[in-house]
Structure 1
Amino acid sequence: MRIVYVSLILLLTTLLGACSLFEKEPETSVFYSPHADDETLSLGPSILRQIDKGNEVAVVLLSHGEASQSIKKVNEKLKDKDLPAISKEEFGNSRVKEFKKSLEELGVKPENVYIYDLPDGDIQKEDVMKIMKEMDKRYPDARHHALSYNDPHRDHAASGAALKELADDGTISSALFYLPVQEFENMDYDDTYPVPDSLKDNYKKSLAAYRIWKPEEGLYSIGYTSVKPYFMEAGRYGESRWHK
């Protein structure tokens, strides 16, 4: 009889271990993008994976990105075309337009897009935690996705550190952390989410949203002007890399 009990315990232990491996993925995901373009360059393939599965997706932009030095290149191009220079505020608003266009191409519902204006280059973990708590109330039991707390970019790392603290203390129950595409060969990761085959065209269009030059509509190809090599890498890899 004792052998039977031991066998049952071993069987239950095995089954419980298997269940933990195949734990049901949350049907809602919230993604945090420190700057316009992070949502497609590093998070885009994972966003598309959730959409392909029929899950609810919300995306949060943490800053308008007004500190980017690419405003100089944009204004030089405008000058060459005898067009007026744009201010930092106009530059930031244009980045938000690119962000929204990118998410439209990915298939994220407009009502699930949230825009904040934390100071670009000085995003604080505590401020991001407040936003994440707001999103947790809006989307209970969701999985939250942020860039890695090991990211060398301080704004990226702040978003990851905020999520890690909330996951560690149990405020948020499910969290994943993503490598920025420019660090794919320099950072460790657990797994990847490739772009679903049926949505590869969506991903191309999302990346292309940052190449649009239409000054009359307030679009100045800012993302592509700023980090063209990252867009090339994102198109080549076609995946998100993450760790826990």
Structure 2
Amino acid sequence: MPAKILVVDDDAAIRRLLRNTLLRADYAVVEAADAKAALHQNAAEHPDAVLLDLGLPDRDGLAIIPQLRAKGEAVVLVVSARDAVNEKVAALDLGADDFVTKPFDTEELLARLRVALRHRHVGHATPKLVRRGDLSIDLDRRVVCRGGVELHLTRKEHDVLGLLARHIGRVITHERVLAACWGADEDPRVEYLRIVIRNLRQKLEAPAPVGSVIANELGVGYRLRADQ
């Protein structure tokens, strides 16, 4: 059975674009034009994923993210013209799996959707070994190899990379990384995190990087890119 996608947007033209894009990619599609219909369709249709606009006529889309997550197992991808950092952080903190800004590239949207659905099918169990191209991350043993060669990482680099790897393909906010990897006793600051990310990139991508392994969502956080 094809995965079922709930498209929530009050703009009929955007719904039509998303419907046609998803149908061409062999997904089943249901639609809603407002928050009330979205919650009804989510409960009735049990979609695998929800593409959610935030500017809905009856309620702010942010307000229904927890309800969508509470009433089903669907992954939630926000697809919105809002591009303020605080909006993106709020959506992710409320439980959204990803945030795509309008106008969007349909192929990128489909790639983000595939990653999110892949993680849904894997389930909620913590992975023990994460692979991305020639990079392997053994989360239990804290061993990272590139091309079969073990890399030397500091404790903090292991902590940050491990968190990103457990949620590969998803944006993890600065606040969440700092809370998980530093804690209140260490006076965590975003500047410290930037240094760790810079060092990780140098180690993971050397000697000839082809695109960054760790993507920066400006002002929001970081994601470990998943192979599409």
TM norm structure 1:
0.30
**Which structure is higher in strand share?**
2
**Which structure is higher in helix share?**
1
Q: Which of 1 and 2 has higher RCO (CA within 8 Å, sep 6+)?
A: 1
Query: Which structure has the bigger radius of gyration?
Result: 1
